[in-house]
Amino acid sequence: MDDGTWAQFTSLFSEFDVVGAFWVNIQLTFFAGVLALVLGTALAVMRISPVPSLRWAGSTYVTLLRNTPLTIIIVFCVLGLWGQLGIQLSQDFQTNFFRLAVLGLAVYHAAFVCEALRSGVNTVPVGQAEAARAIGLGFGAAARLVILPQAFRGAVAPLGNVLIALTKNSTVAAAGSVAEASGLMKTMIEFRPDVILLIFFTFALGFVIIVVPLGLATTSLSRRWAVAR
């Protein structure tokens, strides 16, 4: 790359706020991640609870949401919830789209958080639950003191995968009119089609830089926290 191209490249990136666009994706990921973790944990508790109606509601939710494309959910949030039902999450136009996208991302990924936690429960040997019951703990106490602490440690790796998927899926918010990285990439390529490869690899690298450390961190955490058996 000669100096002229490099100058064009830097001017292109001073003209467009690439870091700002990625910041939107990180915010989407953070807020949707927290919401999905809360909702997903509630769903997981429902699915392992002794109450049949709660179990049914939990598994129905997971089956429905997990099998729907995220794009439909985001489009539904904008065109359905906001456009048809008039559900507005903010007076500000942009903030409203942002929050609707967070809602869509959260309800979709909550189903996967629930499955990750359940797979964590599956790593706990049956003897643990039997021992807990043998010393007289009920469902609540056994779950809180014996099963869930081990289950969370066993669920770190699958939860990390959900977080990575959520980070990448935050780009789908583009379908809900949120100005984020994939939308900016499109605008930049349309503006400067001659440096399309440079633009694509910059954005791709941005995601690699976010996603790869996440993967490494959750892998090492899941190893450090693994319950020795």
Question: Interaction with other proteins in 204-223: which residues (CB under 8 A)?
Answer: 204, 207-208, 211-212, 215-216, 219
The binder of other proteins chosen from 161, 177, 179, 221 (CB under 8 A): 161
User: For other proteins, which residue of 54, 89, 195, 221 counts as binding (CB under 8 A)?
Assistant: 54
190 binds other proteins (CB under 8 A): yes
Per CB under 8 A, contacts with other proteins among 20-49 are 47-48
The answer to the question of residue 193 lying near other proteins (CB under 8 A) is yes
- Asked if residue 227 binds other proteins (CB under 8 A), the reply is no
Contacts within 8 Å (CB) and 24+ apart, 179-186: 179/21, 179/24, 179/94, 180/21, 180/24, 180/25, 180/28, 181/18, 181/21, 181/22, 181/24, 181/25, 181/206, 181/207, 183/21, 184/16, 184/17, 184/18, 184/21
Q: Which listed residue (97, 98, 112, 203) binds other proteins by CB under 8 A?
A: 203
Site for other proteins in 99-138 (CB under 8 A): 119, 121-126, 128-130, 133, 138
Q: Is 86 in the site for other proteins (CB under 8 A)?
A: yes
CB contact set of 165 (below 8 Å; sequence gap of 6+): 109, 112
d(CA 97, CA 173) in angstroms, rounded, equals 9
